[in-house]
Amino acid sequence: MSSFETICEELKITHTKLVAVSKTKPVEEIMPVYHKGQRIFGENKVQEMVDKQEQMPKDIEWHLIGHLQTNKVKYIAPFVSMIHSIDSLKLLNEVEKQAAKNNRVINILLQMHVANEETKFGLDQTELIELMDYYLSNPKNYAHVNIVGIMGMATNTNDTNQIRNEFKQLKGIFQFIKNSYFINKKDFAEISMGMSSDYTIAIEEGSTMVRIGSLLFGHR
């Protein structure tokens, strides 16, 4: 386990944001990191995030990082600050609907599939283009979602060349989306990539936001 302070020092140099991934950890283990100044916490399960949000200070920014089912969006829409895992038009439409009901704007990232693993969620290039074409055919219908970037996960492997290549691919996809659709949108700026095992590579390859769990809170 690395200390919170050490990780923060490293991230400060490159202006990379930290999502402290607190999934499976109880509130009393998360609060010390809050007291050290951390305000962005990431969870991958809706019910767990709702429970923690109720118990913890209200100035926390909650980020949903795991796969999200459309029928559960309504539970987090009142408070979630960013959803990293938008992987279908259907999900995007549901987030828009629930954010509107709550009179909010929810920041979202498009989750892109690059890992060489069947099990990892995310859009492929064709699905991305379909989603973007639909979104841009009537952007007025999307007043309550703010697309601020992309998220991705590298393959779980010891092959650092492969990991680096996948992060390079994510950066390329980000540039493609920026140039094709959001050239004048300043806040389309986030590349959420890098976890405990690969965040240093992710930063070298242009990550703006790393999602670190076990290194901060210990093994799950």
Contacts with ligand PLP, residue ranges (CB under 6 A): 21, 23, 44, 65-66, 195-197, 211-215
Residue whose CB is less far from ligand PLP, 64 or 177: 64
Q: In the complex, what is the shortest distance from the CB of residue 177 to ligand PLP, in angstroms, rounded to a whole number?
A: 20
Residue whose CB is less far from ligand PLP, 60 or 142: 60
Number of H helices and E strands in the chain, helices first, is 9, 8
What are 64's strand-pairing partners? 43, 83
**Cα–Cα nearest to 202, from 157, 164, 148, 176:** 164
Residue whose CB is less far from ligand PLP, 141 or 169: 169
Looking at residue 141, the DSSP 8-state letter turns out to be G
Give the helix ranges, DSSP H, for the chain.
Answer: 4-13, 27-35, 46-55, 73-76, 89-101, 125-137, 160-181, 199-204, 214-217
Which residue is closest to ligand PLP by CB? Answer: 213
Q: In the complex, what is the shortest distance from the CB of residue 9 to ligand PLP, in angstroms, rounded to a whole number?
A: 18
Q: In the complex, what is the shortest distance from the CB of residue 211 to ligand PLP, in angstroms, rounded to a whole number?
A: 4
Q: In the complex, what is the shortest distance from the CB of residue 210 to ligand PLP, in angstroms, rounded to a whole number?
A: 8
**Cα–Cα nearest to 81, from 19, 4, 138, 32:** 19
**Cα–Cα nearest to 127, from 99, 155, 91:** 91
Q: In the complex, what is the shortest distance from the CB of residue 103 to ligand PLP, in angstroms, rounded to a whole number?
A: 28
Residue whose CB is less far from ligand PLP, 44 or 107: 44
Residue whose CB is less far from ligand PLP, 112 or 212: 212
